[in-house]
Amino acid sequence: MSQSKTEKILAELMDKIPEIEGVILLDKNGNISVQQTITQMNTSAIAKSAAAMIASARELNKTIAKGDANVTYVEGDNGYAVMANSDKAILLTIISKDAAQSLGLIIRDLKMTLSKIKM
């Protein structure tokens, strides 16, 4: 899929969910394909941390015999990092704490968005 098409899909996701402060599409090694943020962020460091976290989540799920880790999220004092992942890609979103009541719907939207993106 072309980068411009992917950027459009991610922009639509950010428009649909106003609590998203940033979205980063990366491969499982932490290499960024597309990124959009509303503030300045060290997206390279964020992507490397996200890839390491997904790798750990996948190992944990394998160890407890629960299959692959499809979604991982971290709740912080000021918001969330929510990641949906496939075999080839990770879709990381940085979300404000205002989204607490909508996390289930956001996770569903992330999974659907990731399925639209071909990497």
pLDDT digit string, tens, across residues 45-95: 999 999 999 999 999 999 999 999 999 999 999 999 999 999 889 999 999
The predicted pLDDT at position 87 comes to: 86
Name residue 102's amino acid: S
Q: Is it the case that residue 117 has pLDDT exceeding 70?
A: yes
The predicted pLDDT at position 93 comes to: 96
Q: How many structural domains is the chain composed of?
A: 1
Query: What does the chain look like in DSSP terms, one character per residue?
Result: --HHHHHHHHHHHHHH-TTEEEEEEEETTS-EEEEEESS---HHHHHHHHHHHHHHHHHHHHHTT-----EEEEEETTEEEEEEE-SSEEEEEEEEGGGGGGHHHHHHHHHHHHHH---
The predicted pLDDT at position 119 comes to: 65
Kindly report the CATH number assigned to the domain that includes residue 17.
3.30.450.30
Give the domain range for residue 71.
3-116
The predicted pLDDT at position 38 comes to: 86
Query: Model's pTM, two decimal places?
Result: 0.90
